[in-house]
Structure 1
Amino acid sequence: MKNLVIIGGTMGVGKTATCRELQKCLPRNVFLDGDWCWDMHPFVVTEETVRMVESNIAHLLTGFLDCSEFDNVIFCWVLHEQRILDNLLSRVNHGGFAIHTFSLVSDEAALSERLSRDIAAGKRDPAVIERSLARLPLYGELDTVKIDVTDISAAAAATRIKDFLAA
């Protein structure tokens, strides 16, 4: 059966790196990072842009799920509220595939350290630390499988997800 693997987590927790590792170990897959559908300049969050991004993500996911070339569709995004996840899933055709939802979580110190490295490398704005730490507790409330990445690599997180899918 085809799998839709959804990986959420706050900014900097390692979603993209984990998905890239997951691509190496799952057969016949495609990966969509929700941020690619949100990469605009200037970055503007309005009701209109949110609707557009959610529509684009649902359209792409449905297309990937409908394509016979893929057994595994991997998707990641911040997904810090259950309503965001539920809304996305309600828009995707649910026929013929299993949905697996995961949240990557971390302790505050490890997350701050990861984000600080990204800031030092010029990849992120310093304000991201406060925003990301504020969202971190929200993931405990979600109906997802939690994977604590505080002390593990993206490859180890991907292996845990792969093992979960095989169970």
Structure 2
Amino acid sequence: MTTTRRERGFLFEDFEIDRTFDHHWGRTFTAAESMVFATSTMHYNPLYFDDEYARSVGFTRAPVIPFLVFATVLGLSVEDLSEAGGPFLGLEDLRYGQTVYPGDTVRASSVVVAARPSASRPGWGIVEWETTGTNQREEMVIRYRRTNLSRRRAQAEEEPRC
């Protein structure tokens, strides 16, 4: 049996300003994974694993840890934005909206807000996206801007992807 390798992701030239990517996967959070995330990251704030405590400070129950929401939304965007390769350069303007609770499903979309050739790395460009995560009611749960290096098409043809 012969398999054909399919290159995934987009290159610098594909990131036109204002292009929108509706990332096709969504993710439904569970209480168990939030607990595992809290434990494995040593995030022992009772707000995220004690329903009674969460209610005492104004929540309906223990919410999903916001950093897990961030990591998940970032992961949902990788296939479209950075899977073709390119180092992560930074994140800014991170804002949380509606609280995410176990049982909520989050989806993500990203808009290209800036793109320019790299002055210091020939064959590469710098791309910035604004990514928004929304819940099943289309309410914003997270928004941030991130920047990556992105290979230019000519560079990608010369170097195989990892």
TM superposition score normalised by structure 1: 0.23
**Higher RCO structure, 1 or 2 (CA under 8 Å, sep 6+):** 1
Larger radius of gyration: 2
What TM-score does the superposition give when structure 2 sets the normalisation length?
A: 0.24
Report which of the two has the higher share of strand: 2
